[in-house]
Amino acid sequence: MNDLQFLTWVRGPGLDIAVGIFVLGVLWRLFEIYSLGRKPDLAAPRHADGASGLHTVFRRSLPPHGMLKRSPVSYIGGYIFHIGLAIVVFGFAPHILLVKNLTGVSWPGLPSQFVDLAAVVTMAAMVVVLFDRFNKPVKRFLSTFEDWFTWAVTFLPVLTGWMAVQHLLLPYTLMLALHILSVEILLVVLPFTKLFHVFTLFGSRWFNGKANAHKGVPV
């Protein structure tokens, strides 16, 4: 299989397989979560200022008091690479075109120079966060294989995509194929790892906030 054949496969059958597993995996995980059900809270509701699902979503999206100073790399680095990933994924014109081809939905893209800068900053932030996790004994002790693995499958699409755009290391056709393959690997593993938090993050915060608000406890 030459480079062009490899690219043709990952853009065709490979992408179809990855998207299929991704969609079915996401639907299955969401079904598992919502089919658990919840017992009704029969206690009389109590009121407390700032206690609600929406308040919790907002509060949990900000660093707890004092934690930004105690662990700046985790919070600042985390914000940077999450925002950077969003810019790269949803702001790059070729990505938007792919989504349009798959779903018919599109939106205006960002300037390629800005997306390129965001990719570099994102990779730098991810490397710093990884080094911090490895360098801190407690974080390293608490880290599992899944933590390192999910970091790698998130980092590789950004790296290979940036290298393809910059025409670095390998011929463009091969690097583009590797980029698409790395994205497909990410799609396949996302529903079954901690990366699934992209679908549950705000919903779980809202639910916890709503449940505690019923008890009059702001969280």
Q: Is the dihedral of CA 9, 10, 12, 16 positive or negative?
A: positive
How many Å is the Cα radius of gyration of the chain? 20
User: What is the predicted pLDDT for the residue at 83?
Assistant: 95
User: What is the predicted pLDDT for the residue at 117?
Assistant: 95
User: What is the predicted pLDDT for the residue at 147?
Assistant: 93
Name the residue with tokens 């043709």. Answer: 8
Distance between CA atoms of residues 50 and 70, nearest Å: 25
User: What is the predicted pLDDT for the residue at 20?
Assistant: 94
Distance between CA atoms of residues 51 and 183, nearest Å: 39
User: What is the predicted pLDDT for the residue at 157?
Assistant: 96
* Residue 71, token pair as written in the block: 């662990």
Mean pLDDT by 10 residues, the chain (219 residues): 88 92 94 80 71 78 79 88 94 90 88 94 95 90 92 96 93 95 96 92 81 71
User: What is the predicted pLDDT for the residue at 162?
Assistant: 95
User: What is the predicted pLDDT for the residue at 146?
Assistant: 93
User: What is the predicted pLDDT for the residue at 17?
Assistant: 94
User: What is the predicted pLDDT for the residue at 73?
Assistant: 86
124-128: long-range pairs with CB below 8 Å, 24+: 125/77, 125/78, 125/80, 125/81, 125/84, 126/77, 126/81, 126/151, 126/154, 126/155, 126/158, 128/73, 128/77
